[in-house]
Amino acid sequence: MERHPRLQRQRRRHLVQQRRRYRLAPFAPGLPWALPQGTPLDPDLSYSLAKASAFYLRGSAANLEAKLRGFLARPSSWPSVEAMTRVFRSFHTSVTEYVVRHWQEDAFFGEQFLSGVNPVLLRRCRRLPPNFPVSEPMVAPSLGPGTSLRREMEAGNIYLADYGVLQGLPTALIDGRPTFVAAPLCLLHQRPDGDLLPLAIQLSQEPGPGAPVFVPQDPPWLWALAKAWVRSAEFHVHEGLTHLLRAHLLGEVFALATLRQLPPQHPLFKLLVPHTRFTVQIGALARRFLLNPGGVFDRAVALGRRGLLALVARGLRALRWRSLVLPRDLRHRGVAATKRHHFGCDATKVWRAIRRFVTQLLALYYPSDAAVQEDPELQAWVGEIFRRGFLGRRRSGVPSRLDTVRGLVTFVTTVIYTCSAHHAATNSGQFELSAFPPNAPAAMREPPPRSKAALSEQEFLAALPAMNTTATVLAVLWVLRNEPMDMRPLGHYPDRHFTESAPRRLIRRFRRRLRRISREIRARNAGLERPYTYLDPENIENSVAI
């Protein structure tokens, strides 16, 4: 902290100007605050020419392809599952091809809870919820001889995915037709070979005759539809909470608090500003094209804009600080030692590398707890994040001030991890894993099945998104893939905000650790049929930039 009165006045004047320049306002009730809509963005907050050109060209190409091939003009069902694959003629990757081949397999369905784009929901199940009446005979054929559901729960091999947060949300009319969202419960079993397989699915939070428990032994298209309903719930929770709320909206709060409360001379500003690059720009674009009335959510996603905003507000009310602190979250959900948990393994390595770097760097500037307590700019930064990001809710467990070096290290590590690795894990695979409709249906067109009557392929397809909404979602996801143009991977700081030798040395060590992690991930991936690449440090961008 500056001691000279004149320098202190300069810092205070600068921050007053910054707070006038970047005013905050609520975007919607119950959501984190952001810049008011229509606020002109300064050049230092906007995309570079290279980034903007790549972004808009990709979007134009995807929309033109969909129009030329006639998909956007067809609000009807796909004629067959095979016909859906034709939408990938121009836009595809090796992973989209893998999804097309394996989407109906139970092992791939389960694998995505651990290594998909929403790897933060699954939790170990030691006791069945009272509203999920799964009996031993129901699951005995899936578990096989010599064991039981009770025994597998005691051994820690049973997991639960609960989408209760979706219960009762409003849905949109698309092309004049109602759309539907379920709030399923899905029970899974991890076998000794590591496969995570679904055991039972209930498509409602309220059990009863109209909410049967579906199992793998049910008729094939009925079981496929039950899984599609879970995947649709997964799409909405991922897009609304794991991706939009936890990465973009909170990332924008972190970015704006850094600009409004920390002067450029502050070591925290120097550390954090690379992790805010383009974040405000992509937030403004999302509000303009995706979250606006009549935008993509209203035209192609079952929750629509109204339901999505209600979901985000509900999710923020339920959000707890421990879920943002990766090691605490893995322990709380009971998945720290789960087999084939590529996300958990890679995320833990990246988290530890970030925390070590942050610990060593902050030690240069905060030698004691008193130094943390006596830094008014730091406390104002934390306080604004608490008030504007988490709406001042004490029960969230989010700190409103920091009193220890250890607490500061955890807080800053969480901010950097959220803006870099968490966003990469939840954004980079969106197109690959979510573009094929049966694997992530954005807008179901029939209500969930209320009986176990067998279905045909045509009845299955009638429930899935129509051709035009499929093409709309695909085009958006293609645009939101990682953009390599003008990308700055984690740990790359070309702007050199730190000029002293000690922090520069720590940055070089950080990058060496990240390169070592990258080599380990690539060696592991060489033996996987579907490599998990999203948390390879070379693929993690410093900031929420797309």
- Percent of the chain past pLDDT 70, that is, above it, reads 97
- Mean pLDDT is lowest, of 222-226, 254-258, 478-482, for 478-482
Tell me the two tokens of residue 53.
């050109």
**Residue 63 pLDDT greater than 80, yes or no:** no
The CA distance from 314 to 122, in Å, is 19
Q: List the chain domain ranges.
A: 81-486
| pLDDT, tens only, 222-238 | 999 999 999 999 999 99
Q: What's the mean pLDDT in 21-40?
A: 94
**Residue 278 pLDDT greater than 90, yes or no:** yes
Residues making up the chain, counted from first to last: 546
Collapse the DSSP code of 173 into the 3-class scheme (helix H, G, I; strand E, B; otherwise coil) and give the result.
Answer: strand
Three-state secondary structure readout of 73-106: HCCCCCCCHHHHHHHHCCCCCHHHHHHHHHCCCH
**Residue 531 pLDDT greater than 90, yes or no:** yes
Q: Are 238 and 465 in contact (CB under 8 A)?
A: no
Collapse the DSSP code of 79 into the 3-class scheme (helix H, G, I; strand E, B; otherwise coil) and give the result.
Answer: coil
- Strand-pairing partners, residue 188, are 159, 198
pLDDT at site 289: 87
Burial of 137 (0-12, 13-18, 19+ CB in 10 A): exposed
Name the average pLDDT for the chain.
95
Q: Are 545 and 51 in contact (CB under 8 A)?
A: yes
- Mean pLDDT is lowest, of 42-56, 223-237, 428-442, for 42-56
| pLDDT, tens only, 86-115 | 777 667 789 999 999 999 999 999 999 999
Tell me the two tokens of residue 105.
């397999």
**Residue 3 pLDDT greater than 70, yes or no:** no
The CA distance from 355 to 362, in Å, is 10
The CA distance from 84 to 470, in Å, is 9
Tell me the two tokens of residue 402.
């920091």
pLDDT at site 146: 93
| pLDDT, tens only, 259-273 | 999 999 999 999 999
| pLDDT, tens only, 375-407 | 999 999 999 999 999 999 999 999 999 999 999
- Percent of the chain past pLDDT 90, that is, above it, reads 86
pLDDT at site 271: 98
pLDDT at site 446: 98
**Residue 475 pLDDT greater than 60, yes or no:** yes
pLDDT at site 112: 98
**Residue 163 pLDDT greater than 70, yes or no:** yes
Q: What's the mean pLDDT in 285-299?
A: 92
Homologous superfamily of domain range 81-486: Lipoxygenase-1; Domain 5 (1.20.245.10)
